[in-house]
Amino acid sequence: MDHSGPPSHSFVSELLRISSNLGESNSNSGLLSNSLAAAVSNVLSGLPNILNHNTVESLLIRDIGEDEFDGEGRPNQRRKSKSLRSVAATMGTISDVRALEHQTLKVPYEILNKKFRIAQKNIDREASHVQNSINDLEKAVKIQPSDEINKDPPVTVGKINELLMGVVNRLTVLKRKSIECMSEELEAVTVCKRRLEHLKEYCNRSVIAEQTHGAHPDTLELQDPYLANWKKQRMDRMLVDHCLRSGFYETAIQLARYSDIEPLTNIEIFLVCRDIEDSLTKHETSRCLLWCHDNRSKLRKIRSTLEFSLRQQEFIELVRTNQRLEAVKYAQKHFSTLEDIVGTSAQLELEQVMGLLACSPSTQIDRYRSFFDEKRWQNLVEQFRLENFKLYQLSNSSIFSITLQAGLSSLKTPQCYRKDGTRNSECPVCSELLNKLAVSLPCAHCSQSRLVCYMSGDPMNEHNQPMMLPNGYVYGEKALRRSAIANNGKVLCPRTQNTFDFKDAEKVFVM
């Protein structure tokens, strides 16, 4: 199988190449684990930095050939402007990807990291079993019946066959689990590669379109239908993510299938999250505890207290059902092992929880009554959701929500909330629904005001002088002239519907 790929995915190709070699190798499991670790280390070190300045430089260098310089080694001025446009397009697309596509790459990277760690543990464990079986076989072979010092019973042919079969069985299990682990890792690598290719296509196509059409990077989709379709897919991906976070799972799945973007979304982890949240809503902790066990190392790194909260809730439920002796045994078994994880900050809360042994569920003591509140289960759901986001380095809000708020804030001005109720039909913030959403957002930061003609929408400047009608309303000179030409020297004010002579309009000077 050919694992060659584009230069920007060399680390993925290296992983596939080493994985393929390992499948055909007869080396022991220790070498297999070390080689696999080296391969995946390259992936883990390369994936988060795939969109850095080195990538920008490589894209630029690739576009610069020998004809960029004249015979004396000086830059060719004729092609200099083309290179500068390439820089602008590349920097624009890279910053775009960095801001909006972090979770597109980070989630599959974290999944690959997790599968690699699981595979490493499984292979090391089975390799240890193989080594133990081989040691038993070697020990049996070295036993000499004639050795008087040796007190071991004599070894029979049947015993040797049994030990050999044990080694063969262990090797078979090692081979099977190695193949399963490698298959799962290759699936995760394929997802990473698919998403990288998707983003790379956008970056490359943006550079080509900018060089061809010479337009600003933000308006390239107007000239290139491919870029317009790519951005539509990105919007669909944002909507899928927003629907998943809002609990509309079926809607998100249907949209992903309709737009053919399932490999580019993180539906699987949200479906797992949904099942665990449903179990917590039903006052069941087993699924969430199993999830904590599977991700214990990562949760410990982020100083998570989720498992401690779950153990607390199980203890509270035992007290609620009057199983106090079982609650004491439960606390001795679990709270002592969690003390090192949560640190001393939870000592006070733990002391209060243990005080529940002397209280009834109907207690009116404030410091204990809150522990029996059913809202604690909903708090556990919220805590699990936040810890799951931290685990995969996802933001607490959807990219769609963040982008919408940033866009509304950049367009919002005090004019969007005028008391007279007038609105600009071309302004998104002035629309009824978005106007309500943007109420709490800050207005755009404009260090320099820009005047826009109400009639034509054109900017008013030295080429289009602002002119004031006798009723006090100001419009652009070009719009007033066009209105005067069409109406025999008369201009109609669109706000008051009054008619004035064009000669009565006065120029306005902004200081």
What are the tokens at 368? 């204990």
Q: Is the pLDDT of residue 33 over 50?
A: no
pLDDT reported for residue 73: 44
Mean pLDDT, residues 257-263 taken together = 93
> What is the tens place of the pLDDT at every residue in 329-365?
999 888 877 665 555 566 778 888 888 898 888 888 8
Please answer whether residues 214 and 93 qualify as being in contact, where contact means their C-beta atoms are separated by less than 8 angstroms.
Answer: no
Q: What's domain 448-511's superfamily in CATH?
A: Zinc/RING finger domain, C3HC4 (zinc finger) (3.30.40.10)
Alpha helices by DSSP H, 321-450:
324-342, 347-354, 366-369, 375-391, 399-411, 432-437
List, for residues 87-98, the tens digit of each pLDDT value: 444 445 566 677
Residue 370 pLDDT > 80: yes
**Secondary structure in 3-state letters for 34-88:** HHHHHHHHHHHHHCCCCCCHHHHHHHHHHHCCHHHECCCCCECHHHHHHHHHHHH
Could you tell me if 123 and 170 are in contact, meaning their C-beta atoms sit under 8 angstroms apart? no
Rounded Cα distance between 216 and 223, Å, is 11
pLDDT tens sequence across 306-319: 999 999 999 999 99
Give yes or no for residue 146 having a pLDDT over 60. Answer: no
How many other C-beta atoms are found inside a 10 Å radius of the C-beta of residue 175? Answer: 13
The answer on pLDDT for 56 being more than 50 is no
Q: How confident is the model over 36-63, as a mean pLDDT?
A: 36
**pLDDT the model gives residue 219:** 59
Spatial separation of the C-alpha atoms in residues 308 and 341, rounded to whole Å: 9
- Decide if 67 contacts 76 (C-beta within 8 A): yes
Residue boundaries of the structural domains of the chain:
7-217, 266-391, 399-437, 448-511
At what angle are helices 399-411 and 225-246 packed, to 10 degrees? 110
Are the C-beta atoms of 196 and 104 separated by less than 8 Å?
no
Percent of the chain residues topping a pLDDT of 70: 74
pLDDT recorded at residue 344: 58
| Nearest residue to 411 (alpha-carbon basis) of 434, 389, 387 | 434
> How far apart (Å, rounded) are the C-alpha atoms in residues 465 and 22?
75
Which pLDDT does position 363 carry in this prediction? Answer: 85
pTM of the prediction? 0.68
> What residue type is 39 in one-letter code?
A
pLDDT digits (tens, 9 = 90+) for 401-431: 999 999 999 989 888 888 877 777 778 899 8
Average pLDDT, the chain: 79
Compute the distance between CA of residue 484 and CA of residue 492 in angstroms, rounded to an integer: 8
pLDDT tens digits for range 377-394: 999 999 999 999 999 989
Residue 315's Cβ-count burial label (10 Å; 0-12, 13-18, 19+) is buried
Q: Are 261 and 254 in contact (CB under 8 A)?
A: no
Rounded distance, CA 144 to CA 154, Å?
Answer: 7
Mean per-residue pLDDT, 219-234: 79
